[in-house]
């Protein structure tokens, strides 16, 4: 088993091991007292059909009382409606502060259940059991929780760290190749912003054979960033590499482009923009495109860049008329570059090198 310990406002372990799902009860018993705590396990319908039973059995075997709640899969469920149903379910099952929630699933479940945990009874503890590659390496660690509102994604949220993360990479075997690839975009992001050595590994290894090691590598990078800036006022922003333009691409394509695909194209565009500003060279762009291709991710955006500029102006990471761009100057090193939105618009209306 690989263990990454996160020292944030709460200290917790991220446990990564194939087959750990069926042992999650015993792992939770190291953190919570089974005779005193009920585990409220929440999953979407896809994940429940595949993994709810072994999780419930394992928790019961460890001595926990267990109750379950299943909601429809998809981003639309990260809503106030589903959140209210979760609160009702918790009240009906007499869940108190000595109990804990279990978010079993992808990033939608983790964000939604994490936000329920942050707000129910002014905050109770919760465990993340990520089942997508993206949730394992990104959303289950770091304590950002949220729901969406019609005005935008993740606009209502809270920082609330989990008490434990149990990651079983065997669960990725049931993901579609497209959903797995979405996680690969975030994996490549970590290498680009933080570690040339990790990038080299991704350029050469068979990740299916080294999933535990790769997840641990990514989680450890996120740990280092989050420990320095838990509340996202400084260095944590580098995790947005590729995201400002990626979100814009997702938006202008009406989400025909997935998050991972958007981030992949966003990383390429921001690198081309960096080249235009003289902050990186063509060799870096070539390296990025090759590694994206290796993981079946797109790197060419063929829509109009001027349309993206308009969408960037509404980016929630903007402060006043300044937007913070994350640029990678050399593999493994990211910088935050504040830029006036008008300047970004002018650059995107011109030609970018390729
Ligand atoms: N909190 C953070 O720091 C953070 C970071 C990145 C992304 N996010 C959020 O994460 C969400 C995206 O996460 P996601 O891509 O995991 O989406 P998701 O949770 O919707 O999962 C994608 C799909 O895969 C299915 N699924 C999950 N695990 C499965 C498995 N093992 N086998 C088969 N199917 C499975 C789900 O039912 C769903 O249909 C977004 O809402 C995003 O805002 C949060
Ligand atoms: Zn992302």
Among the atoms of ligand 1, which is closest to the Cα of residue 260?
15
CA–centroid distance, 175 to ligand 2, in Å, is 18
Nearest to 267 by CA among 252, 253, 254, 280: 280
CATH class of 2-174: alpha beta
Q: Which of 54, 75, 129, 132 to mutate to test the pocket of ligand 1 (most atoms within 8 A of CB)?
A: 132
Question: Dihedral of the CA atoms 155, 160, 163, 169 (nearest 10)?
Answer: 20
315 pLDDT higher than 90 = no
Is the CB of residue 186 below 6 angstroms from any atom belonging to ligand 1?
A: no
Confidence (pLDDT) at 345? 86
Lowest-confidence segment of 79-83, 191-195, 350-354 by average pLDDT = 350-354
- Among protein residues, the one whose CA lies closest to atom 34 of ligand 1: 175
Long-range contacts of 56-62 (CB under 8 A, 24+ apart): 57/22, 57/25, 58/21, 58/22, 58/23, 58/24, 58/25, 58/26, 59/24, 59/25, 59/28, 59/102, 60/25, 61/25, 61/26, 62/25, 62/26, 62/28, 62/29, 62/34
* Among the bound ligands, the one closest to the CA of 134: 1
pLDDT-derived band at 204, boundaries 50, 70, 90: very high
Q: Which of 114, 116, 136, 139 to mutate to test the pocket of ligand 1 (most atoms within 8 A of CB)?
A: 139
pLDDT-derived band at 134, boundaries 50, 70, 90: very high
Confidence (pLDDT) at 316? 65
Q: Angle 341-349/305-312 helices, nearest 10 degrees?
A: 170
CA–centroid distance, 243 to ligand 2, in Å, is 7
59: left (phi over 0), alpha (psi -120 to 50) or beta: alpha
Q: Tell me the sheet residues that pair with 325.
A: 337
Confidence (pLDDT) at 10? 95
- Decide which of 1.20.1090.10, 1.20.1740.10, 1.10.3720.10, 1.10.20.140 is the CATH code for 177-349: 1.20.1090.10
* Among the bound ligands, the one closest to the CA of 182: 1
318 pLDDT higher than 80 = no
Confidence (pLDDT) at 317? 66
Is the CB of residue 130 below 6 angstroms from any atom belonging to ligand 1?
A: no
pTM: 0.96
pLDDT-derived band at 348, boundaries 50, 70, 90: confident
**What is the mean pLDDT of the segment spanning 270-287?**
96
273 pLDDT higher than 70 = yes
* Among the bound ligands, the one closest to the CA of 153: 1
Q: How far apart are CA 288 and CA 275, in angstroms?
A: 13
Is the CB of residue 45 below 6 angstroms from any atom belonging to ligand 1?
A: no
Nearest to 311 by CA among 241, 351, 254, 353: 254
Average confidence score pLDDT of the chain: 95
113 pLDDT higher than 90 = yes
pLDDT-derived band at 313, boundaries 50, 70, 90: confident
pLDDT (tens digit per residue) in 36-83: 999 999 999 999 999 999 999 999 999 999 999 999 999 999 999 999
pLDDT-derived band at 312, boundaries 50, 70, 90: confident
* Among the bound ligands, the one closest to the CA of 266: 2
Residue spans per domain, the chain: 2-174, 177-349
């Amino acid at each position: 088993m690989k263990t990454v310990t996160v020292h944030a406002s709460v200290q917790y372990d991220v446990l990564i091991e194939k087959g750990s799902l069926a042992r999650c009860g015993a792992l939770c018993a190291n953190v919570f007292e089974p005779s005193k705590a009920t585990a409220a396990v929440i999953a979407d319908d896809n994940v429940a059909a595949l993994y709810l039973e072994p999780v419930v059995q394992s928790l019961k075997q460890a001595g926990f009382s267990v109750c379950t709640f299943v909601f429809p899969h998809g981003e639309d469920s990260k809503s106030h409606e589903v959140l209210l149903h979760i609160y009702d379910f918790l009240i009906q099952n007499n869940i108190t502060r000595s109990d804990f929630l279990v978010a079993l699933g992808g990033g939608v479940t983790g964000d939604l259940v994490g936000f329920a945990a942050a707000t129910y009874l002014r905050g109770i503890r919760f465990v993340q059991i990520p089942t997508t590659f993206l949730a394992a390496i990104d959303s289950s660690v770091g304590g950002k929780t949220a729901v969406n509102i019609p005005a935008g994604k993740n606009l209502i949220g809270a920082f609330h760290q989990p008490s434990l993360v149990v990651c079983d990479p065997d669960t990725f075997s049931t993901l579609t190749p497209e959903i797995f690839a979405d996680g690969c975009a975030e994996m490549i992001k970590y290498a680009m912003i933080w570690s040339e050595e990790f990038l080299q590994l991704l350029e050469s290894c068979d990740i299916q054979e080294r999933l535990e090691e790769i997840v641990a590598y990514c989680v450890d990078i996120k740990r280092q960033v989050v420990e320095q800036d838990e509340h996202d006022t400084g260095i944590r922003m580098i995790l947005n590499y590729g995201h400002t333009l990626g979100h814009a691409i997702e938006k202008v394509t009406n989400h025909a482009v997935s998050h991972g695909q958007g981030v992949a194209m966003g990383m390429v565009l921001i690198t081309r923009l960096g080249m235009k500003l003289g902050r990186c060279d063509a060799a870096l762009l070539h390296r990025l495109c090759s590694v994206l291709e290796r993981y079946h991710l797109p790197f060419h955006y063929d829509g109009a860049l001027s349309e993206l500029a308009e969408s960037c102006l509404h980016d929630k990471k903007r402060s006043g008329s300044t937007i913070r761009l994350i640029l990678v100057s050399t593999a493994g090193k990211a910088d935050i570059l504040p830029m006036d939105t008008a300047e970004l618009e002018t650059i995107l209306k011109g030609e970018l090198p390729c």
